[in-house]
A and B are shown apart, each in its own frame.
Chain A
Amino acid sequence: MISDITAARDAALAHIAQASSPDDVAAMTTRYAGKKGELAGLKKQLGSLESIDEKKAAGAAINEAIATVDAALDERRTAVAAAAVAAQVEAERLDLTEYIGKPARGHAHLVTQAWERLEDVFVGMGFRVAEGPEVETDWHNFEALNMGEGHPARGEFDTLFVDHVAPGGQPGSTLLRTHTSPVQIRTMLDQAPPIYIIAPGRVFRRDTPDATHMPVFHQIEGLVVDRDISMADLAGTIDAFTKAFFGKSWSSRLRPDYFPFTEPSAEFDIQRPDGSWIELGGCGMVHPNVLRAGGIDPEEYSGFAFGFGIDRMALMRHGVDDLRAMYADDMRFVEQF
């Protein structure tokens, strides 16, 4: 009997070893495993055995054989499944460098990219972003900025005038803003100090387009008005911005300059890590007349303002040496960035 059991077990194991697919394993499981399988069927012959001991020994042998075969089936099932996955994976090989199709994302304008990067830095420094109209009154663009009628500095702005006439107004007193400073005036008139704003935006000058000039371009200005704001605060803010925007190893300096709307006025330069300087923009302490125009008492509050070109930030970052290219809406340019 024992030898029959052993033979049946070995035959089953040999058979299982040859199973090559999950289906084979399933069929063999039905045939050999469990209480209804062929091995369990051997238990019917136990009755023909004489002694209890023989029956016990044969029964134990059958159970052991079933366990062995079940284990073999489990092992084979796992192996066959793994082989099937491996075969599938092997059959599905792809060359990922074999790329058909075109990149589908859209490209933000370089000016927008620089604009948002600048906004993010200033927002992080605690500034709000202010906006205003691009067609402006002479008062907001010049008069309120300490450039009354006939002020010689007006001539330097190459202003474009618009034929809109306000009710009761004079022709020639509506213009395309030459800087975003009118937004400063509007903010001061709208809001009591403390004021911490930046005003990015589109500005206009009567400039013939060339590699560094466009009649339509973009500027960002900052305005801080609070109690006891000093020129040291201006220097510190410019320097903090320089480090945040360009990098920790950059620095900045102020040197005297002239603008009608600030006094003292300064030009600010930034220094690359290699020691070379770049002239970036203008700044200064808000002129008392400008604070007054904004409805703020210069004896109670003081402030500083600064401004520079957004377009140039974009050009510098990407090594574009012709401003006109940035405004051509030519896909060969747009898709590079």
Chain B
Amino acid sequence: MKLLLSWLNEYGDFGDPTDEAAVARASEALTSLGMEVESIDPIGDTVDGVVTARILRLESHPDAAKVQRVYVDAGDGEERHVWCGADNISADDIVPLATLGTTMPNGMTIERRGILGIDSEGMLCSAQELGLGEDHSGIRLLPSQTPLGMPYGDALGITPDVLIEINATRNRPDAWGYVGVARDLAAKMNVAFRPPEPVFDAVGDVRTPPVEIVDGDRCARFTSTVLSGVRVVESADWMQRRLTAAGMRPISNVVDVSNYVMLELNQPNHAYDVETLGGGGFRIRLASEGEHLMTLDEIDRTLSSDDLLICDADDTPIGVGGVMGGLDSEISDSTTTVALEMAWFQPVGIGRTVTRTGLRSEASQRFERGVDPFGMPNAITRFAELLAETCPDLVLHAGGSDERSANLPDENRSVDVRISNVNRILGTSLSSDDLAPLLDPIGYIVSGTGDTRTVQLPTWRLDSTAEIDVIEEIARHHGYDKLGSTVPKPPDHGGLTVRQQRRREIRQVLLGLGINEAMPNPFLAPDTLAKAGLPGDALRITNPLVSDESVLRTSQRPGLLRAVAFNESHRRTGVALFEIGHVYPPAEGELPGEYEQLTVVLAGAEAPAAMSVWRELTAALGGGARIDQSKVPAGLHATRSATLQAGKEPLGAVGEVAPDVLAAFDVTERVAILEVDLDQFLAREPKATQWKPTSRFPSSDLDVSLVVADEIPAEKAEKAVRQGAGKFLVDLDLFDNYRNPEQPGQRALGYRVRLQAPDRNLTDADIAEIRRGIEAAATKLGAEMRS
């Protein structure tokens, strides 16, 4: 909402527009009331040095076809000569003259300059050159009686003003009209509030346009008043100036008054020509599905059975109720009698029509928030009063229609307000008697005595229905800045849950391993999961922005592979990334099977690199899983991947991304990958690791080499060594995995076994026995031990 300060000042003295400090005070008061000031724009500045002058005579010059010589009198008795290219001027016209030394809005300075050796002593100005509009077709002519030598701004009645744009919140329908803003502001700034009190007697014969409200849910009140003696002409200058400043194009007195009343009183309205109004009345009904109407903006609208239509009494649609009139319902230059509509529409219904049709108007914005259902009589009188300024013969006819439905809000609504509750919510120490001075000025009328007062709610604040709404008004007018500042004391200490602590720990481990955190888009294209070799069963967004972002991920893998490909394409290979975030597989139930996942991708690395990340994580966080290579997770390299199996449930996957998936994602490097279900992994709270005393006796190392068939996992070989070595084993390292090309199908696994006794030195006999034990275990496994 844009507010012209001089206009607002009509309803209270809020500050001189030329006084910067006063404007700032008003602006701060608006913001402190919740009508946030978005911008303050000074308007109506005039160009210094441009004065009124009368044209004495015009002369053409034989060598200058496009310009003529103009002699002017600027009131100082001197005759000045200027060159001028415009052809809309003649002798005795009063025109704006930019005198020598004037700096024009475009930056040009008027200098003594010559054409054909004859100097020009100034410049005659067009409207555009003075910043008065777009018109550049000729010199801006001034009224003929204008005194000479005065600033042109004075001649045109231009005064410096300020346009304040406020952001009215949804709970403030009244802030969409000047009077509503002024009422609030006057109360805050403690100045007198002067609402318009229009006087215009209905004296004409009784004329009652027939009105039938078919859908009373959507239209709860419809008034129609006949005004005759209308003469369609231009509005008065002052009204045109105000509407223009407010961003509305002046059209004619009837349309301008209609807009003016809407802006002033927040009551949208529409005037129809009675002559062209079928049946001379109105019928308000829902549209039938697919019904058409050409709206004022010359767009053919197809309506639904949820849109409200204003029809004439013959049932021909003439407007979308509360949104926009029909093109054919416009009044014409020959209109002499109008039926003035002022109505109240159900806000939610207006909202639905606006959302569906995308048609948004000054009227719909107001109805959507809820205008005053009882403001019509005052607005009708105001309309007549304003229109009479340009229509001296205007007659307001008695007997206007006023149809209401049961859905009309109550005129008398009140709530009880307990001072104890006010103080509990606001932290104030107000007394009951403090309420009336805060509330009465804004139309919340306080009555009663004692600790609970009755507050009558204003009809223009339909958002207010309960005690808490009144408490908010009290807070606004008491001042948010006066509410105090205390810090409540939580009864308990703050902290992170085990799960949150473990999540942070995972991140620390991964960052320490040199892996970077990524956050790719969780929305996928419909074919992305298939491209990643993953099952296509996924949830879809029913109203996606673009179809490429319409599928909810069931895996973080696609997003991270895209990130790897992106970096590769920017000459960054070997990228290591991880993501901790939610995935959303479908599931039965109130909500889908959303859970938290960790995925690590290591570009340019092979599967063991992912295994090593997994080992670091389990070493740091506890827990673990069986590496089950018999279950290859979908989309992963069939011979280099495994399911992480924790008990019966899969906990995740480890290995390498399948080559065809890499190709589909335009990734040229190998990618090692680790995926972990964090809902499972984070939920466990492992016991603290218990201390194992270290021995003070020397340790001995024993290297053994086991020749193991490829079918037997090294995990099993390691287990055999561990078992065979028995209680003196303190450390075990796989240090070699030699595959002799001459002996395919097997490999030699070299283990370094560190042995130590807690209470004595180990003897050669001990070592020999341990060696035999390992050999026996290896044999049992089907492996051969070599020394």
Q: A107: which of B517, B519, B566, B581 is its contact (CB, 8 Å)?
A: B517
Rounded to whole Å, the gap between the CB of B335 and the closest CB of chain A is: 36
Rounded to whole Å, the gap between the CB of A219 and the closest CB of chain B is: 14
Is A319 part of the binding interface, using a Cβ–Cβ cutoff of 8 Å?
A: no
Residues on A with C-beta less than 8 A from B171 are: 258
If the complex has contacts A233-B427, A258-B169, are A135 and B594 also in contact, measured as CB distance less than 8 A? Answer: yes
A287 x B468 contact (CB < 8 A): yes
Q: Mark the stretch among B3-11, B197-205, B537-545, B619-627 that contacts chain A.
A: B537-545
Is B298 part of the binding interface, using a Cβ–Cβ cutoff of 8 Å?
A: no
B540 x A105 contact (CB < 8 A): no
Residues on B with C-beta less than 8 A from A47 are: none
A194 x B490 contact (CB < 8 A): yes
A251 to B, closest residue via Cβ: B485
Is A66 part of the binding interface, using a Cβ–Cβ cutoff of 8 Å?
A: no
Residues on B with C-beta less than 8 A from A237 are: 487-488
If the complex has contacts A215-B549, A229-B488, are A155 and B575 also in contact, measured as CB distance less than 8 A? Answer: no
Residues on A with C-beta less than 8 A from B518 are: 109, 329, 334
Residues on B with C-beta less than 8 A from A331 are: 516, 567, 570, 572, 575
Rounded to whole Å, the gap between the CB of A205 and the closest CB of chain B is: 10
B472 x A332 contact (CB < 8 A): no
A329 x B520 contact (CB < 8 A): yes
Rounded to whole Å, the gap between the CB of B470 and the closest CB of chain A is: 10
A122 to B, closest residue via Cβ: B494
Is B333 part of the binding interface, using a Cβ–Cβ cutoff of 8 Å?
A: no
A256 x B476 contact (CB < 8 A): yes
Q: B351: which of A116, A152, A162, A267 is its contact (CB, 8 Å)?
A: A152
Rounded to whole Å, the gap between the CB of B539 and the closest CB of chain A is: 5
Residues on B with C-beta less than 8 A from A124 are: 494
Residues on B with C-beta less than 8 A from A329 are: 518-520, 563, 566-567, 577
Residues of A247-270 at the interface with B, using a CB-CB cut-off of 8 Å, are 253-258, 263-267
Q: A162: which of B481, B521, B539 is its contact (CB, 8 Å)?
A: B539
With the chains together, A109 CA to B577 CA distance in Å?
11
Is B338 part of the binding interface, using a Cβ–Cβ cutoff of 8 Å?
A: no
Is A275 part of the binding interface, using a Cβ–Cβ cutoff of 8 Å?
A: no
A231 x B475 contact (CB < 8 A): yes
Residues on A with C-beta less than 8 A from B33 are: 256
If the complex has contacts A129-B497, A152-B368, A329-B519, are A232 and B485 also in contact, measured as CB distance less than 8 A? Answer: yes
Residues on A with C-beta less than 8 A from B495 are: 123, 128
B542 x A108 contact (CB < 8 A): no
B514 x A105 contact (CB < 8 A): yes
Rounded to whole Å, the gap between the CB of B424 and the closest CB of chain A is: 6
Q: Quick one: CB contact mask for A154-177 with B, threshold 8 Å, 1 for yes?
A: 010000111110110100101010
Q: Mark the stretch among B101-109, B505-513, B647-655 that contacts chain A.
A: B505-513
If the complex has contacts A231-B425, A332-B570, are A263 and B469 also in contact, measured as CB distance less than 8 A? Answer: yes
Is B144 part of the binding interface, using a Cβ–Cβ cutoff of 8 Å?
A: no
With the chains together, A267 CA to B476 CA distance in Å?
13
Residues of A283-327 at the interface with B, using a CB-CB cut-off of 8 Å, are 285, 287-288, 302, 327
If the complex has contacts A167-B589, A331-B567, are A107 and B169 also in contact, measured as CB distance less than 8 A? Answer: no
Is B265 part of the binding interface, using a Cβ–Cβ cutoff of 8 Å?
A: no
A335 to B, closest residue via Cβ: B516
A264 x B566 contact (CB < 8 A): no
A167 x B588 contact (CB < 8 A): yes
If the complex has contacts A135-B592, A255-B34, are A116 and B494 also in contact, measured as CB distance less than 8 A? Answer: no
Max count, chain B CB within 10 A of own CB: residue among A104, A167, A169, A285 = A285
Is A134 part of the binding interface, using a Cβ–Cβ cutoff of 8 Å?
A: yes
Rounded to whole Å, the gap between the CB of A194 and the closest CB of chain B is: 5
If the complex has contacts A109-B519, A162-B539, are A236 and B577 also in contact, measured as CB distance less than 8 A? Answer: no
With the chains together, A236 CA to B514 CA distance in Å?
41
Residues on A with C-beta less than 8 A from B542 are: 161-163, 172
B348 to A, closest residue via Cβ: A150
A236 x B352 contact (CB < 8 A): no
Residues on A with C-beta less than 8 A from B468 are: 263, 285, 287-288
With the chains together, A258 CA to B33 CA distance in Å?
11
A108 x B507 contact (CB < 8 A): yes
A169 to B, closest residue via Cβ: B590
A233 x B32 contact (CB < 8 A): no
Is B765 part of the binding interface, using a Cβ–Cβ cutoff of 8 Å?
A: no
B576 x A106 contact (CB < 8 A): yes
Q: Quick one: CB contact mask for B21-60 with A, threshold 8 Å, 1 for yes?
A: 0000000000111101000000000000000000000000
Q: A256: which of B475, B486, B539, B575 is its contact (CB, 8 Å)?
A: B475
Is B172 part of the binding interface, using a Cβ–Cβ cutoff of 8 Å?
A: yes
With the chains together, A192 CA to B534 CA distance in Å?
43
If the complex has contacts A264-B472, A287-B468, are A126 and B490 also in contact, measured as CB distance less than 8 A? Answer: yes
B543 x A206 contact (CB < 8 A): yes
Is A81 part of the binding interface, using a Cβ–Cβ cutoff of 8 Å?
A: no
With the chains together, A166 CA to B31 CA distance in Å?
44
Is B515 part of the binding interface, using a Cβ–Cβ cutoff of 8 Å?
A: yes
Q: Quick one: CB contact mask for A130-146 with B, threshold 8 Å, 1 for yes?
A: 01011111000000000
Max count, chain B CB within 10 A of own CB: residue among A105, A164, A169, A202 = A164
B512 x A105 contact (CB < 8 A): yes
- Could you name 30 residue pairs across A and B whose Cβ atoms are closer than 8 Å? A106-B515, A108-B507, A109-B517, A109-B519, A112-B517, A123-B495, A124-B494, A128-B497, A133-B582, A133-B591, A136-B591, A161-B542, A163-B539, A164-B591, A174-B592, A196-B490, A206-B543, A216-B521, A216-B522, A232-B426, A232-B427, A236-B487, A254-B480, A256-B32, A264-B475, A264-B476, A265-B472, A288-B466, A331-B575, A334-B517
A residues with a Cβ closer than 8 A to B are 104-109, 111-112, 116, 119, 122-129, 131, 133-137, 150, 152-153, 155, 160-164, 166-167, 169, 172, 174, 176, 194, 196, 202, 206-208, 215-216, 224, 226, 228-233, 235-237, 239-240, 253-258, 263-267, 285, 287-288, 302, 327-332, 334-335
Q: Which 4 A-B pairs have the closest CB atoms?
A: A256-B34, A230-B427, A232-B427, A126-B490
